[in-house]
Amino acid sequence: MYFYLVFGIIAVLFIFVKGMFLCFIPQSKLPQVFERSFRYIPPAVLAALVAPSILYTRSAGGFDISPVKIAAGTIAFGVALKTRSILATIAAGMILLWLLTYLAG
Amino acid sequence: MSEEKQEFLRGARSGVPLIIGVIPFALVLGLAAREAGLTTLQGVFFSTAMLGGTAQLAAVQLYGAGASALVIVATAIIINLRYSMYSLSLYPILEGRSFAERLFAGYCVSDQSFAITMAEYEVAPDNPFLPAFFLGASLSIFSVWIFSILIGYKLGTVIPAELSLDFTIPLVFMSLLIPHLKGWDRQVSAVVGGVAAVVLVPCLPLQSGLLAAIIAGIGAGMVSSFFKKKENSEGEE
């Protein structure tokens, strides 16, 4: 029962957080400043998600700088800019990651 | 087939490349749920009642380690606070939809479905069927997520970690970032968000570094929009 109580509360609070400005806090109540922030949410979020995953490998000891990921990620970003294709970016990044890991290893 | 249905299916198909990176994570999560001592029924509840990635992993590990309920709940919520910003950003797309539909959107949104929908919105903001696209993307990702957690729970991590398939996640996100880089103010916001994340994520607990970096990036963008406006109005004179 304890399990369902704890995770039930998490599930309900998740819906509140994830739907916060969609359902619970009306946009009309927000200061104008928020509206200007819309434009910057996707670039800030995506860059913040990408950069650490390209720079570091997570291990039990924490975050280690990973030259292999940096090289594969940087070249893949070039491919993404050039092709605008998700699949080409995945292919370039993964093949380079495997190849460089093999060569380094 | 109606246009709305077509957009739903297009969203679901667009979710496919993002799924490759999601599966290994969900398998790890399923294994962690088993190691934390969840029964099968609890595992089903755990995978269907919420969608939270890292927050789910942290919560189930803390539960297994016997942490207090308050610590488990607070940890999970802090890790997922960034989703509140997704809801802010998705609002223009889902405006006018019923409360129940918007609530359901909050339930099934993920980093992935947010990213792919915003990339779509950037290219075609006037597409009236974007909610259907969003729903298709969210549900295809969420259903594979649930299924993979259960596989991980039953069978363990069946994909070898050496393949590093989790690296496809940043690869997909970087290609989805590109449409948002038009205008130097948005480039500033991406650079500040990225650099701040690199500095803050390793040193702040509970992924709060990620949240702080996102806020820094948005703030930097808003500051540069102020200068950009000035530049534009001077150009008009």
Cα B174 to chain centroid, rounded: 13
Q: How do the domains of chain B map onto residue ranges?
A: 3-179, 183-237
**CA–CA distance, A91 with B199 (Å, rounded to integer):** 28
3-state secondary structure of A56: strand
- Terminal Cα distance for chain B, rounded: 52
For B114-124, how does the pLDDT look when each residue is reduced to its tens digit (9 = 90+)? Answer: 999 999 998 89
Do residues A62 and A92 both lie within one domain? yes
Task: Tell me the HSE value of B143 on the side-chain side, using a 13 A CA sphere.
Answer: 8
Do residues A91 and A44 both lie within one domain? yes
pLDDT at A99 exceeding the cut of 60: yes
Do residues A65 and A95 both lie within one domain? yes
B181-185 own/partner pairs: CB under 8 Å, 24+ apart: B181/A43, B183/B228, B184/B224, B184/B228, B185/A39, B185/A40, B185/B221, B185/B224, B185/B225, B185/B227, B185/B228
Do residues A87 and A69 both lie within one domain? yes
Q: Which residues of A touch B91 (CB under 8 A)?
A: 21-22, 27
Query: pLDDT class for A38, splitting at 50, 70, 90?
Result: confident
Do residues A54 and A99 both lie within one domain? yes
Strand-pair partners of A58: A63
- Which residue of B80, B82, B169 is in closest CB contact with A45? B82
Among A41, A66, A38, residue whose Cα is nearest residue A52: A66
Q: Quick check: B190 and A47 CB within 8 A?
A: yes
Contact (Cβ atoms closer than 8 angstroms) between residue B173 and residue A49: yes
Among A10, A16, A79, residue whose Cα is nearest residue B49: A10
Do residues A71 and A97 both lie within one domain? yes
Q: Quick check: B88 and A63 CB within 8 A?
A: no
Q: What is the pLDDT of residue B234?
A: 58
Structure tokens at B172: 């997909």
Q: Does B168 touch chain A (CB under 8 A)?
A: yes
Do residues A58 and A18 both lie within one domain? no
Mean pLDDT over the full length of chain B: 88
Q: Does A51 touch chain B (CB under 8 A)?
A: yes
Looking up tokens 């970016």 gives: A89
Q: Which residues of A touch B217 (CB under 8 A)?
A: 40, 43-45, 47-48
**Helices (H), ranges, A19-66:** 32-37, 41-55
Q: Quick check: A48 and B213 CB within 8 A?
A: yes
Looking up tokens 């509840």 gives: B45
Do residues A21 and A49 both lie within one domain? no
Do residues A16 and A48 both lie within one domain? no
For B224-233, how does the pLDDT look when each residue is reduced to its tens digit (9 = 90+)? Answer: 888 877 666 6
Q: What is the pLDDT of residue B159?
A: 79
Rounded to 10 degrees, what is the CA torsion of B101, B103, B108, B110? 120
Over residues B70-99, mean pLDDT? 88
Mean pLDDT over the full length of chain A: 89
Contact (Cβ atoms closer than 8 angstroms) between residue A50 and residue B180: no
Do residues A25 and A43 both lie within one domain? no
Interface of A with B in 17-46 (CB under 8 A): 17-23, 27, 33-34, 36-46
How many folded domains does chain A comprise? 2
Q: Which residues of B touch A60 (CB under 8 A)?
A: none
Structure tokens at B11: 């969203």
ipTM value: 0.87
Do residues A12 and A43 both lie within one domain? no
Q: Residue A22: which domain range?
A: 1-30
Per-residue CA distances from B59 to A12, A63, B80, B171 (Å): 14, 21, 11, 27
Cα A68 to chain centroid, rounded: 19
Measure the CA angle with vertex A90, ends B201 and B218; round to 5°.
Answer: 35
For B124-154, how does the pLDDT look when each residue is reduced to its tens digit (9 = 90+)? Answer: 989 999 999 999 999 999 999 999 999 999 9
Query: pLDDT class for B236, splitting at 50, 70, 90?
Result: very low
Per-residue CA distances from B10 to A102, B90, B131 (Å): 37, 18, 12
